[in-house]
Chains A and B, each alone.
Chain A
Amino acid sequence: MLLRLLVLQAALLSLRLGSGAQGTELPSPPSVWFEAEFFHHILHWVPIQNQSESTYYEVELLRYGMEPWKSISSCSQTLVLSCDLTMVTLDLYHNNGYRAKVRAVDGRKHSNWTITRTRFSMDEVNLTVGSVKLEAHSGLILGQIQPPRPKMAPEGDTYESIFPHFREYEIAIRKVPGHNKLTKKVKHENFSFPTPGEVGEFCVQVKPSVSARTNKGIWSKEACIVVSRQYFTVTNLSIFFTFVLLLCGVLALLSLQLYVRRRGTLPAVLVFEKPGSFNLIGQLPSPETQDTIHPIDEEAFSKVSLELRNSELHGSTDSGFGSSKPSLQTEEPQFLLPAPHPVAKRTLGKGASLELENSCSGGSSNSTDSGICLQEPNLSLSMVRSWEQQVRSNSQGQDDSGIGLVQNSEGQPGDVQEGSASGQVSPLGPEVTKEEDPAVVAFQGYLKQTRGTEEKAAKEGCLEEESSTDGFDPPVRMCLDAEEAWPPPVMAKGYLKQDPPEVTLVPSQAPTGQWNHPTEEWSLLGLTSCGDLGTSNWSFAHGLAPLDCVGAPGSLLGSVDSDLVTMPLIATLHSNE
């Protein structure tokens, strides 16, 4: 019995040894470890040294704390050094971990087991990012991080559910050509990165982590975006529209101001001009003047003027007209004249100046007091006015200075005002003189009268202007000066001579006296009327008052017309009577 048992034991031992020898022939794999990402658990091992083609490896898995070891047959393939154990380790994130062991098998030989050094638990999972989406918006790069979404994960096991708190992402941004990276840590899946005014390609990498855990993070692949210069951003468009609005507002203000100013500058006389003419100031209706005034033919007037010049009147000096021509001629045409006849409007100031220069340079002019050298007698008077008005900066102007000698074919008050006369005046002057009509000339004389009233009105206006604070001082002074320069007798002359006694126009004093008288009356009337109107209207536009004033005595003018007309134009023109 004992012997049999001994023999059996020996046999068994030999078998065991044999098997053991066979088992120990093969060395066990040096090391076994897990490499895991979110629901992607791979077991790796190092192959044995004397590996043959038929060597394969057996893998067994143990859930920590629960027997038995479970064999994973899908891993037992030849020459494969890793195995995906995700499907059998789905519970990794809820239990205490797994242990795995591997051994080499070759035919009937197999090696010892090699177990993973550490318990494979959730702590060994390396964190990754699913994807990164980038968008560029007006100087900002907006990014959205997508957590990994593995297919093998069971329902309910998402990255956010397993790591609910303290998820963090480290973002590294670089501009394409360079390698310098700017890192930033964010605590949410959305991030933004400002790129003020930069253009080009930006590449972003993200590394996730959980601040309450020790899991390692892996940098994601680079996600790149090209930022191009956007011109039509919301900010740019809004700024542009704001500027446009501001500009419109400024323009509106300016135009309003101009409108307001121009309104005043348009003299009553000009108001009567043909409707087609553009007048910023607006035309004051002066029906009386329109009715009474006859269109002046420039050509006729020019002729008359020529004659006048040649007459004795030519000698007048005081007005400084240069005494070369009777002022009447030049003045009349420009005036009012509602009729569409082109009235030469002399632009204020400049024209006058030019004329002055012409006349003065000529040396023939005997300009005296005003020192204004006017080729045409009218010029002097008108000049003064024009000067004044010029000083006032367009406030009124034209009318009386109307002097306009300018002989614009259009005869627009606006033109007169602007004083573009310079160019216009001189050339036109002579033309006008040539084309004079006797009637026109006569009328001119009449106009003169009106101007005189205007003067008065203007004078009043000037006085009133004093009260205004717009720096009208110079014009006021001018007004005063004009007042002085424009004594009624001058009006009587109608034009030229400023010295009432001289009255070169008419040799006899009678006409002047007549002239004076009506003018005086007229002026008085005008004054009174103007006085009524002046204060109220003055603020609006200085020109208005005188215009009104001018308009008022229209009838008076009419009455005086015949006398006036006859007077100045002297013998030659004195046909009306």
Chain B
Amino acid sequence: MKAQHVSLWLMGTVLFLCSVHARGFRRCLISMDMRHIEESFQDIKRAIQAKDTFQNVTILSTSETLHKIKPLDVCCVTKILLAFYVDKVFKDHQELDPQILRKISSIANSFLYMQKVLQQCQEQRLCPCRQEATNTTRIIHDNYHQLEVRSAAVKSLGELDVFLAWVDKNYQGIPAA
């Protein structure tokens, strides 16, 4: 009798833990046409990156920051960086060329859509933010603030391909249209 109770209890615990872990393993998926964004960026890449004069400084990829992020933190970091671009970079950058401005606007709209998807994930508690994720994003913010605003904004825009490649890599398996 006791043995049976113990075994049942153990099984229950195991199942509970599994469910918890499984919850954590559930990923927040973004079904997004990343290719569209990448194409838009390629059109303005030359113009924007040419304006970036501080070549030895990077905002997003300090010591391969993004590459070191763990899968569990991917959702949180994505959410934070999307907010960073939409709230800071696109606002701080002042573009005069209408064609470039149009492309930047389309990229910004796509980012807004991605933010909505991640918002739903957060409501389902699929997007927890751990300390590591928060630390990584703080570094990025610090890099941004070390530079002059305009230069920082231009540089951040120029590094959009880094950000998009990282998102693409983490959300692979979702077929691009």
Contacts and interface: CB of A to CB of B under 8 A. Distances in A.
A64 B50 CA distance: 14
Interface stretch (B55-63, B81-89, B106-114, B131-139): B55-63
Contact of A62 (B38, B56, B172): B56
Majority DSSP secondary structure for residues of B touching A: helix
A17 B50 CA distance: 29
B52 to A, nearest CB: 8
A551 B94 CA distance: 125
Nearest to B38: A214
Given A95-B64, A96-B61, A117-B49, A214 B39 contact: yes
Interface in A182-218: 211-214
B96 to A, nearest CB: 18
Contacts, number: 57
Contact of B55 (A115, A212, A213, A214): A115
B176 A211 contact: yes
A211 B174 CA distance: 13
A119 interface: yes
Contacts of B35: 211-214
A99 B55 contact: yes
A68 interface: yes
B92 interface: no
B45 interface: yes
B38 A64 contact: no
Interface residues of A, number: 24
Contacts of B58: 64-66, 96
A115 to B, nearest CB: 7
Contacts of A115: 55
B34 to A, nearest CB: 7
Given A96-B159, A117-B50, A212-B34, A65 B61 contact: yes
A117 B46 contact: yes
A165 B50 contact: no
Contacts of B175: 166
A312 interface: no
A213 B38 contact: yes
B159 A118 contact: no
A35 interface: no
B18 interface: no
A239 B72 CA distance: 63
Interface string B142-177: 000000000000000011011001001000100110
Interface string A136-170: 00000000000000000000000000000110000
A118 B61 contact: no
A214 B43 CA distance: 10
Interface of A: 62, 64-69, 95-97, 99, 115, 117-119, 121-123, 165-166, 211-214
19 contacts: A62-B55, A64-B58, A65-B57, A65-B62, A66-B56, A69-B56, A95-B64, A96-B60, A96-B61, A96-B159, A118-B50, A119-B49, A123-B42, A123-B161, A166-B175, A166-B176, A211-B176, A212-B168, A214-B35
